[in-house]
Amino acid sequence: MIESETPGAVAARLTGCAVTGERPLSGTVTEVALDSGQLVIVKGDAAPGGLRAEAAGLRWLGNAGTVRVPAVRGLDERWLITDRVDTGPPSARAAVRFGRELAALHASGAPAFGAPPPGGHTEAYIGLAPMRNVPAADWPNWYAGQRVLPYLRSSVDAGTLEHAEAAVVERVCERLPELAGPAEPPARLHGDLWNGNVLWGADGHVRLIDPAAHGGHRETDLAMLRLFGCPYLAEVLDGYQQAAPLAPGWTDRVGLHQLFPLLVHVLLFGRGYAGQALSAARAALAG
């Protein structure tokens, strides 16, 4: 790696193709045109291992042969290169197909709750927040210990949640075995399935990007998809239910599964998300 490399130079080095142009999309993401006519996305990241975890997640999801993901075209410690997705408008038909494909992705399974993708590491990321992948056989205890309490404690330590507020979330964790619903096998999760990571392809197929992939409960992906809104969400859920019906009472557990991403947002972005996290906790207790 050369510290002064441009994204175009990185693309040339890692793909072996000449570069004909580049266009910045954000501070760390650049679209690069190769002499083959292909467009790729070059993403930089200073976090140790972050891009390797992302690449491992993309490959793991892609290997399931269900929901499509951009192919990985190049990777080193600081850079990740993937295919650019040609996007188009969302549609009800694509949403139903996406729901069915997402159900098939989840059903492709994982070795354990918290299992990282092959080639992934224990220390991974969800967005900019560290996320540990420590395999376990029991979902309620794993979810409490690895996906809720670490972010809750860090938020309290940072002063973004008060101790009395944290006590509400702690009660959810104490009651998780009874609140979790019927036991399910570990699902192959995208892990950060908010609307911004769902790309509606011009060819009518959805692609998923930026995974925080791991073994988990399938309702967590669906709850995250619902959290920040998704076009044609009702159709996505219809397609999912057609392929793999959810356990009774799943709508009552949405708040439970949203606790994880909301506490990540509290930690990263402050008290603006504290109210939502507490509402999700109270909804879980009420459900």
Same domain, 75 and 119: no
Same domain, 172 and 74: no
pLDDT band at 209 (very low <50, low <70, confident <90, very high): very high
Q: Is residue 2 part of a domain?
A: no
Same domain, 124 and 246: yes
First-to-final CA distance of the chain:
52
Task: Determine the pLDDT at residue 4.
Answer: 73
Same domain, 145 and 174: yes
Q: If you average pLDDT over every residue of the chain, what do you get?
A: 95
Over residues 106-133, the mean pLDDT reads 94
Q: Is residue 124 part of a domain?
A: yes
The residues with which 74 forms a beta bridge, in sequence order, are: 81
Neighbours of 129 (CB within 10 A): 17
- 154 Cβ neighbours under 8 A, 6+ residues apart: 267
Same domain, 58 and 96: no
- Encode pLDDT of 150-199 as tens digits: 999 999 999 999 999 999 999 999 999 999 999 999 999 999 999 999 99
Task: Determine the pLDDT at residue 25.
Answer: 94
Spatial separation of the C-alpha atoms in residues 198 and 218, rounded to whole Å:
17
> Do residues 91 and 22 touch, judged by C-beta distance below 8 A?
no
- Encode pLDDT of 257-279 as tens digits: 999 999 999 999 999 999 999 99
- Report the CATH number at residue 31: 3.30.200.20
Task: Determine the pLDDT at residue 3.
Answer: 57
Task: Determine the pLDDT at residue 26.
Answer: 86
Q: What is the residue range of 211's domain?
A: 92-286
Task: Determine the pLDDT at residue 46.
Answer: 65
What is the total count of domains within the chain?
A: 2
**% of the chain at pLDDT higher than 70:** 98
Over residues 226-252, the mean pLDDT reads 97
Task: Determine the pLDDT at residue 27.
Answer: 83
**% of the chain at pLDDT higher than 90:** 92
Task: Determine the pLDDT at residue 95.
Answer: 98
Residue with tokens 């930089």: 44
Q: Is residue 104 part of a domain?
A: yes
Over residues 116-122, the mean pLDDT reads 92
Would the pTM of this model clear 0.85, i.e. be above it? yes
Same domain, 278 and 228: yes
Same domain, 13 and 125: no
Q: Is residue 1 part of a domain?
A: no
Crossing angle between the packed helical segments 233-243 and 92-107, to the nearest 10 degrees: 40
| Helix, coil or strand: residue 43 | strand
Q: For residue 86, is pLDDT > 80? A: yes
Task: Determine the pLDDT at residue 1.
Answer: 44
Over residues 135-154, the mean pLDDT reads 97
- Report the CATH number at residue 182: 3.90.1200.10
Residue 85 corresponds to which tokens in the numbers above? Answer: 């997705």
- Encode pLDDT of 30-78 as tens digits: 999 999 999 999 999 867 688 999 999 999 999 999 999 999 999 998 9
Same domain, 196 and 231: yes
* Full DSSP string of 34-68: ETTS-EEEEEE--STTHHHHHHHHHHHHHHTTSSB
